[in-house]
Amino acid sequence: MGWKEAAEPVLTRMPTVERPEGHVPFKRKLMWTGGVLVLYFFLTSVPLWGLPAGGGQDLFGQFRAILAGGQFTVLHLGIGPIVTASIVLQLLGGANLLGLDTDDPRDQVLYQGLQKLLVVFMIVLTGLPMVLSGFLPADQALAQQLGIGIAGVQGLLFAQIFVGGLLILFMDEVISKWGVGSGIGLFIVAGVSESLVTGIIGPRNGLVFNWAGMVLGDTALSVDNVLGSQGQVIALITTLAIFVIVVYAESVRIEIPLSHARVKGARGRFPVKLIYASVLPMILVRALQANLQFLGRIIVSQAGSPTADGRVVIEILGVQMPWLGLYSQTAQGPNSPVGGLFYYMAPIRQPTDWMWWLASGPSQEIWQVVTRVTVDLTFMIIGGAIFAIFWVETADMGPRSTAKQIQNSGMQIPGFRQNVGVIEKVMERYIPHVTVIGGALVGLLAVMANMLGTIGGVSGTGLLLAVSITYKLYEEIAEEQLMEMHPMMRQMFGD
């Protein structure tokens, strides 16, 4: 008996959102999408009950825009467990260890059940250490008031995180089956948009209020203030540049001519975009970095020892290992890495992480900063290309799957026989190369955007994802409206 037969009784019984039996009208899709979005904003405003007044430490703070969660709320984990489970499945699928055929309906059910089971496992694997390690500390006063002890409050905290992780999983599934676009993408856009609007018109450190303060003389006019954290001119230019570059990159494409085999004169084009795999694989790359940093924080919190200069070093079996991780110390415990392997693997988040000539720049040596930038660039470019390849194959966007779709729609490439193998060979000339180039390009743009900074504390990667996902959402809405106006189009491309 193989693993599929053994796991089938469990995987096929995983809770799921039923697919609509027929076509869902566009207005109803918008209603489902809007309803889930309202629920998402509500849940990100519900704080975790059981945390002390001072809160805790946000292990994913630097990745908050990408993981689309609310800090110290029911959705504290965000889409992290979903993305991590996708990484594991893509790696297993890329190595052909699962033995699942996504064209087989039975294997599709097993794949979806396995993904949900992995998400539940990742929720436990991520949320439980946060609570037990003290990053989400239990309120001692509440424990005494309820008479359940610290362990009881920790159980309440974990239960809230667990339920929030399950809710965002099913919210994503509702949008994917009944709404417009992807739930993961929509949540990222929602979180980034909220931070961006706050960064522009926020009453405390918003761009508009800062400029008004400089005009009225409340803030000194200097090069550092105008270009830096007050005027944010560089951040504004970077934000606008990301919008322009992403929209332009989304419009760059190779168009393969098509003609209908039976309807004379019916022609079309199959676009192979420069960012063919979209920017969603970049979520997987950043999530992998987030999990590595999460692992480092867990290790140093459990096996860390203070140094003479007030920092914390990883210590294993009584041996200090500064080459593995050296962390800055705060009142709440170890904070961010300042040396060692985990420092070099940490992503560049803002200009002060690498501009050593600034007064607020990094305290490390120049060669250390350059090494960190190089590692981040290499990780994002190579990782973006690799995960783009995995994404194309998993999402049935590869040459073979595309050839089958063209064949099934009754189209063919002029000058070539109407044969799946022939169409596949033509697609192999473009899709693999464009996938790698597009994935590497998105990785490069993400790092450059982070290095220059953006408005509202939104990471460059988060803004890059939000703009691209919004552009994709616009295209999907236009396609939905076209199919509503011309039902024959729906029959041609499939319901």
Per residue in 72-124, pLDDT tens?
899 999 988 998 888 888 777 766 777 777 667 787 888 888 889 999 999 99
Judge if 106 and 214 occupy the same domain.
Answer: no
First vs last Cα of the chain: how many Å apart? 36
pTM over 0.95: no
Residue 331 confidence (pLDDT): 64
Judge if 220 and 169 occupy the same domain.
Answer: no
In a domain, 195, yes or no: yes
Mean pLDDT of 267-295: 84
Mean pLDDT of 156-182: 92
Judge if 176 and 205 occupy the same domain.
Answer: no
User: Do 325 and 300 touch, CB atoms closer than 8 A?
Assistant: yes
Give the residue among 454, 481, 489, 442 at the shortest CA–CA distance from 283.
Answer: 442
- 180, 200, 226: which is the final residue of a domain? 180
In a domain, 304, yes or no: yes
In a domain, 12, yes or no: no
In a domain, 249, yes or no: yes
Q: Percent of the chain at pLDDT above 70?
A: 91
- 125, 153, 180: which is the final residue of a domain? 180
In a domain, 385, yes or no: yes
- 180, 208, 230: which is the final residue of a domain? 180
Judge if 199 and 217 occupy the same domain.
Answer: yes
In a domain, 100, yes or no: yes
Greater pLDDT, 30 or 218: 30
Residue 356 confidence (pLDDT): 84
Greater pLDDT, 123 or 274: 123
In the predicted model, is pLDDT for residue 495 greater than 50? no
Judge if 246 and 388 occupy the same domain.
Answer: yes
Identify the domain containing residue 483 by its residue range.
Answer: 188-495
- CATH at residue 229: 1.10.3370.10
Judge if 194 and 167 occupy the same domain.
Answer: no
Give the residue among 382, 386, 345, 290 at the shortest CA–CA distance from 90.
Answer: 386
Judge if 281 and 348 occupy the same domain.
Answer: yes
CA dihedral sign of residues 360, 366, 367, 373: positive
The band of 155, judged by pLDDT with boundaries at 50, 70 and 90, is very high
Kindly report the average pLDDT of the chain as a whole number.
83
Count of domains observed in the chain: 2
In a domain, 315, yes or no: yes
CA dihedral sign of residues 224, 230, 231, 233: positive
Judge if 44 and 111 occupy the same domain.
Answer: yes
Residue 228 confidence (pLDDT): 60
Judge if 333 and 476 occupy the same domain.
Answer: yes
In the predicted model, is pLDDT for residue 456 greater than 80? no
Give the residue among 255, 252, 208 at the shortest CA–CA distance from 230.
Answer: 208
In a domain, 6, yes or no: no
Judge if 157 and 207 occupy the same domain.
Answer: no
Q: What would the pLDDT profile of 237-257 be if each residue is shown by its tens digit?
A: 888 888 888 888 888 888 888
Residue 222 confidence (pLDDT): 61
Judge if 371 and 466 occupy the same domain.
Answer: yes
In the predicted model, is pLDDT for residue 281 greater than 90? no
174 burial via Cβ count (<10 Å: 0-12, 13-18, 19+): middle
Q: Which of 8-12, 153-157, 226-230 has the highest mean pLDDT?
A: 153-157
Judge if 165 and 218 occupy the same domain.
Answer: no
Mean pLDDT of 258-271: 73
